[in-house]
Structure 1
């Protein structure tokens, strides 16, 4: 619910160029707000809704002009709700979310919603129709203390003939009586009003309009606590009817007096004998038909020594002073036919008159005229018939005249509710003082001259907050509605919000510059983006976060599926899914060599993918002329060690046998005191014979290593 406001800073168009500003009303119809023939520098254009369009068309040839437009938005508001007839309305705020509360004057009942809310829309509207105040036909009031009974409000259309006979029952508290004051009594030829002191059919008649006689404007008093009122009419209308005000009082006291459109002071709030009451009228009314002071007399049966006066709206007069009120004749009742009233207002010579017309609801055959100046220099400011929304007018001289004329044939053409006009004395200067610019911001004005009602709107540069009222209004007394605001440096970031499926921790809940927010995903989710963001200040500009919010996505949605195993190979730590960043290692079976990457990694993406293709395992091929690789060298060393171990083991066994079965004294064998063997032993070795000496054969081994062929040779020799 915002409008756009444009201000032309510079306009200089060439011949043939066209420029227009358009908007859209609440019904969607296109409106031309301005065009190139009406645009001037400093002009302010307001769109009726939240849309404003700028159309530019260059010329066919020749030089091109320039234009510059500054625009800003301002909040829309609901229109001021209409005050119900015989009621009032109080508005808390006209912006979306604001409320308007309605209530009726005493004796009237509200038909409709008592509270309306301004709804946010392209053009804000109230949540319901404005209620109306109506007087009901009949009713019952228990424990009646103070109130009013009114003739029923007329119906319109097919129900115009309803409410032809109405009856009201009033019952005061125990041991109290009722005083009925006839504020208004204007009955038609066939209308009848009857008041009974009691609810039974045989009750005493207090007043019967059908019997003739004087009308008891001083009122009537019931004999007991109950009163019945009956009204009979052919057709209710605004011109005929009655107003009766009632109040309960205790025996031995006078009833509480009442003065419509006025007030009074009393010497005794209980209104005992000897009480003195003094009356005064509200502004715009004069005291008529009664004394300004009355007294409660007669101790046996107290009563007032005179009737209460009446305060009636004046029909014309000479007015002066700093302010006052002008009301239609007989206000708040309907004005009469053939009224001819003139109010002449005069203020100081160096002053002017400001009229504030709060209500204007008269018949189309009636006229209200407002003129400026005295009898010599008269200038008509406006003539008005029918109804009008509130408006204001100012005079250019110290004198201003308001004239009202009602049609004598008002019964034929009908008549309106009346009017309410306030006037105040204002300074001769017709504009408010200019307001200063603000540091780190700027201002725009709704009018070239700062006349009453003109607005100045302040805004701040990026990176600054406005402290104070955004819009200031030039008031009736030529003062501004508030002090100018100022721009304050923004030292905090806006809340970036939460991340779905994640938790966050803040270093500073105020989100001042330097605040960090750490995000961590819930189990089963993986973080995409930076886990930490920081609020940092900019010059110029508003503090911002270092990066966008991360996202938490499910592990299944970003994992890499197992790519499978190569033929003649296998995987290390195999599983179905791998998270981004995890690696998968491949190994080939013996006799096969790996072609490709031994390990591949899962890369995060949309979708995620492996860093390389699946490797291959192929049969290993040995090349004779090629040098040994590390594996072949290790195998040759292993075989060499194995052969050497076997050889040494054989030598050990061979030497051991010789030590136990020979008496030879060999250089290589130390002597041993074994006896000679003279009998055949259990050994079948032909090298050993009993009691004899023979030669022993030793073998020496020569090992030759060739790294290319791993060739081993053996040489044998004999010893004596």
Structure 2
């Protein structure tokens, strides 16, 4: 059963005690898990959509929790389980999604008992799920921070304490606690238990004793109250409230629970610790159940002849019809009344209540002009707390007026769907007016009003470009609020305000103003320069100069916190010195905003800000600090080397070299770069002893057998086929004390070997020649022969000779022979031919001897040239089988054996 409905039933039950009628318990309502919402209570639950069922797919929910200004909030996790990917709850430390993110949670990242705290008075939570696997959910409890307040609940103002701690033990603020405890007033008046008032106040408005939380009442005090008042409640169909369960309260102990002294006090004469009130039930009814009006309730369950039932409306609704019906002759003497939210009204002696838009919670109508007048007793003020608010934005308005405020303008003009913040009047009379256009309305509004004693000063509010120590809404006489300005601003007025004594509490002065000056001389080690406060008398524009001078052993660094110039002619310039004659360091404008830090070379800078006649030039904020020395540290020298340069100022450079036997490892030149402090762009190099020779290289068309260039190592070279090595075959790296190691010889080269060839012999008709090959080198011999029946005409053997002159191609020593058909001759002719044959053989043998000697000499020259390269892969290829070159010949030249053909 909702709390207020239960308490209303208790009130009605007590009223009907004298009539002996029995109330009927209204049916309990099941809470629904909404998708997000605005939460202004000091305690509550945040539930995932459709809780405790799965939250489903494509959810998008926003939860906004608003505590009293100056308070903080705490989230306590009861259950948390979502999909690991795609479904996320994000918590922001502020009023919207632009606030800092405390954390984003999914899966099982949060467990029962985990706590999340805010730094301010608002939290913003966003929950979203994707299109798949929307299972699980969360249940999170939120609560306001504990603080002390002056007791304003009438039932508790007669006790021996004047301030209470809230949220209370039931996690309620004082407004909610006052609403709930007031429903117990009839039971207190009936004195069903003599200390019921104390027990209830200890629960709902516990005394503020200086701790961070309230003590609970003693268990025996609760049990005594339940024993005395529980039977009375049960007679009227109600059970002892679950939030007053005695079993959760501490045992009797003066240090841990409240009311210990009451339990040990003597009982006055004529009283008992528990005095239940009895009532007799009504006989069985004869009329049908009349029902209950919407947004109202019925008291009475006896429907017999002559019985009467009572009707009442929920707060904010007005009863239309008879407030009671009597059963006569089996029927009720009138129709069931209705409860309506009225369009306007007048409430005098207002203490606590509810105002609703017409027809709430249904949509309000168009063309409305509803006015509510509220008047509290003298010495009281009225506070409005909004629970729901939904008006057509910009078309329908709720205006709030304060009687004694000057002018006809409303204090507040409310529209849209954002729940307004609470509002406190300046006097005890206020007026609310709802004005709607011709369109059909929206959901309307629900607000709670309450009267508060005018015995305090209200929060004077924040100041522009400054902060205050205000942590409360209301201040008692003598309490103070202090202010200070942001960096770069000067405070004009009183830095501290004090709440004065008197019938109407007021502050002793108006809040101060934070003013940013146009220029100044700044000599502190660090400080802030803010854009100057606009001058309303500025008609031509102005220039503002700030001269910054830090200790002479330092330089100045300027860092921008924010920069946004909107005026096209406005600019900010920084000079590298104390006047306009110094070199400019930077110039910023609306088209060239500030980005990087700026450093001076000396201990002074001049900051110039220029703007035109408009005062909407934008804003900027910069911080200056003392920077480190104006030059880089001495980089030092190198061992076994030299440094050139002794200027270490910013952007200067120094060079390094090494002695002959050493190599430089690192940068030869390093530069001093600006910074805080200035630093060299690279570390100092070092000189390393050289322990190897320079790479000797590899000759073109050649190769080497090793890459080892260390001292003592050797490398050997060879050439590719067709090339011969010129130079030393092997080089060795030799050390030289005081100098770099060096190879003992120069690197060799590979030169091409010239190859001399004669043309292939011409095709021999009716004959052949040997050998047949594609390569006929100088010195090669070719032998010709004819087919049977043919005779050879010409030289049978040809030798390939060098050309006659330099550059001439090789040639054969004679013309190619031919084969002709043989002729038959007589014997005399044969004898003559035999003589001729003898002469021919002599000539041929002579020619063969001469040709062989010539061929031998040219072939020897070629072999000597080829044997200069021991590793060449081109052998002295003589394909003619008539010649061989012995491998082990040691004479002056190779011997050639000629095999004569028979």
Question: Where is the strand percentage greater, Structure 1 or Structure 2?
Answer: 1
Question: Where is the helix percentage greater, Structure 1 or Structure 2?
Answer: 2
Question: TM over 0.5, yes or no?
Answer: no
- TM-score normalized by the length of structure 2: 0.28
